[in-house]
Amino acid sequence: MPPTANAAALIRHTVLLRPAIITTAFSKTFPMTTSRAVSRSCTVIPKVTSRTMASSCSSSSKGGLEKLPSSPVRLLRTTSSVRLWRRPHLLDHRTVALVPTMGALHSGHLSLIRRAARENHHVVVSIYVNPAQFGISEDLDSYPQTWDSDVAQLVKLDRELADDGDNLGRISAVFAPSTKEMYPGGFPGQEVDSKGSFVTITPVGELLEGRTRPTFFRGVATVCMKLFNVVQPERVYFGQKDVQQTVVIKRLVRDFLMPIEVVVGRTERDEKDGLALSSRNVYLGERRRQQATVLYRALKAAEGEYKRGGRKREGILRAAEGVVEGVKREEEGKGVEERVRFEVDYISLADPDTMEEIEEVDPARGGILSGAIKMLPVEKAREGEDLGHSGGPAVRLIDNIILEPEGGKEE
């Protein structure tokens, strides 16, 4: 987990920070998930290959083709199988969309898939937890792995897409590779100074999230380059939830001359309190979940200042700071069995194209308000209290709001 900052650090970032930050990732351990799932739920498989694993546990393989259970959705595990699947669609001029994910699917992922199916003949959903985008002290080992639930959600969504005549396509395939498949030369490691074939997108990848998580965007850009090369999609779909990631991917596609359109889907939020959906929310537990909206509320306050005509960094970020300080004071007044503690990593006001910090919003360009907070573990659990996945470790949450240019659309 990345470093954090408290109120003082917030002020430091607010006042001193010129640079910016953000991230997200698809890495994690689909390979680990698979082997664990296999050892738990399958009987003896003498020589375990990905094909036999999936066939035995969670997919069907009629005619030698692996499919998700009771569905026409192909399950592809190797780059060669994706290429074989892809070729006829290229020759038939059918558009293929890719939605990269790390699994632990929720409505945010599903909204991207829905949009991809509306706009393309075929949708490929990748599920791969890419270790290269996790720092060595981050949550790779505990990252939620929910293969069965992911498959069930995809099968259900595919049926829904098939029944809805407004879609051009549906989910044609899930690409769930192993790390061996994705890193054929051997996995280069998670360290900052790991040697290997990496894609780096700087300076944007070094700002904000990249400052706190120095290997994150290198891992994201590298795995996306690989996924794009394998699937060769016409369009790729990413969530605004990870706004800096969308900027990095747009640069990747532009700078490496890739014939791909990057589509950004809006952030899906909890209907009741607006918390951005995230696979990591399962770590929170009920108590911390209640205050996890502090970042969103702070960003909304800053947005409110912009909407009232405020253009200066100081005034916009002061509004956010006021919310953070208010919640901190409120929590400090509670006992250890009630209170929630969190640290602000950063709250940023940045240029929409470069993610560099700005002193003033140019209303013709707008800006990006973004932030990261670390929800600390509870100090003392109440009897029977649900602390969240993996016993409620520290959870880093990110969020953002686009300050639309004057005349532009609202979020």
Question: Which tokens in the block code for residue 367?
Answer: 């800006």
Q: Does 150 bind ligand AMP (CB under 6 A)?
A: no
Sign of CA dihedral 123, 224, 267, 150: positive
Residue 276 engages ligand AMP in binding (rule: CB under 6 A)? yes
C-alpha 221/C-alpha 351 separation (Å) is 21
Of the two residues 276 and 320, which places its CB atom closer to ligand AMP in the complex?
276
Give me the residue whose beta carbon is nearest to ligand AMP: 239
Candidates 55, 58, 179, 267; binder of ligand AMP (CB under 6 A) is 267
Collapsing DSSP to helix, strand or coil, 104 comes out as coil
Compute the least distance from the CB of residue 3 to ligand AMP, in Å: 21
Measure Cα distances from 14 to 26, 311, 344, 400 in Å: 29, 15, 11, 16
Supply angle C-alpha 19, 21, 27, rounded to 5. 150
Instruction: Measure the CA–CA gap between 188 and 219, rounded to whole angstroms.
Output: 11
Between residue 82 and residue 101, which ones bind ligand AMP under the rule CB under 6 A? 101
List Cβ<8 Å contacts ≥24 apart for 106-110: 106/268, 106/277, 106/278, 106/279, 107/268, 107/277, 108/239, 108/241, 108/267, 108/268, 108/276, 108/277, 108/278, 109/239, 110/153, 110/157
Number of residues that bind ligand AMP (CB under 6 A): 20
Nearer to ligand AMP, 233 or 310 (CB): 233
Among 265, 352, 367, 392, binds ligand AMP (CB under 6 A): 265
Minimum separation from the CB atom of position 109 to ligand AMP (A): 5
75 versus 358: smaller Cβ distance to ligand AMP:
75
Q: Does 277 bind ligand AMP (CB under 6 A)?
A: yes
Q: In this structure, how many other beta carbons lie within 10 angstroms of the beta carbon of residue 295?
A: 28
Per CB under 6 A, 4 contacts ligand AMP: no
Nearer to ligand AMP among residue 55 and residue 400 (C-beta)? 400
Interface with ligand AMP in residues 100-139 (CB under 6 A) = 101-102, 108-109, 111-112
Which residue, 118 or 339, has its beta carbon nearer to ligand AMP?
118
Q: How far is the CB of 378 from ligand AMP (least distance, A)?
A: 24
279 is an interface residue for ligand AMP by CB under 6 A: yes
Indicate the DSSP class of residue 312.
B
- Shortest distance, CB of residue 8 to ligand AMP, whole angstroms? 30
Of 13, 89, 93, 109, catalytic? 109
The single residue among 4, 14, 24, 145 that binds ligand AMP, judged by CB under 6 A, is 24
Of the candidates 248, 236, 258, the one whose C-alpha atom is nearest the C-alpha of residue 112 is 236
User: What is d(CA 24, CA 216) in angstroms, rounded to the nearest whole number?
Assistant: 8
Please, are residues 348 and 208 in contact by the beta-carbon 8 Å criterion?
yes
Q: Within positions 200 to 239, which residues make up the interface with ligand AMP, using CB under 6 A?
A: 238-239
Smallest distance from the beta carbon of 73 to ligand AMP, in angstroms? 18
Whole-angstrom distance between the N-terminal and C-terminal Cα of the chain? 29
Give 265 or 310: the residue with its C-beta nearer to ligand AMP: 265
Catalytic residue list contains 106: no
Residue number with CB closer to ligand AMP (143 or 306): 143
Q: Determine if the peptide bond prior to 203 is cis (ω within 30°).
A: yes
- Which residues face 70 on adjacent strands? none
Residue 83 contacts residue 107 (beta carbons within 8 Å): no
Is 241 an interacting residue with respect to ligand AMP (CB under 6 A)? yes
Residues marked active site are found at 109
Footprint of ligand AMP on this chain (CB under 6 A)?
A: 24-26, 101-102, 108-109, 111-112, 238-239, 241-242, 265, 267-268, 276-279
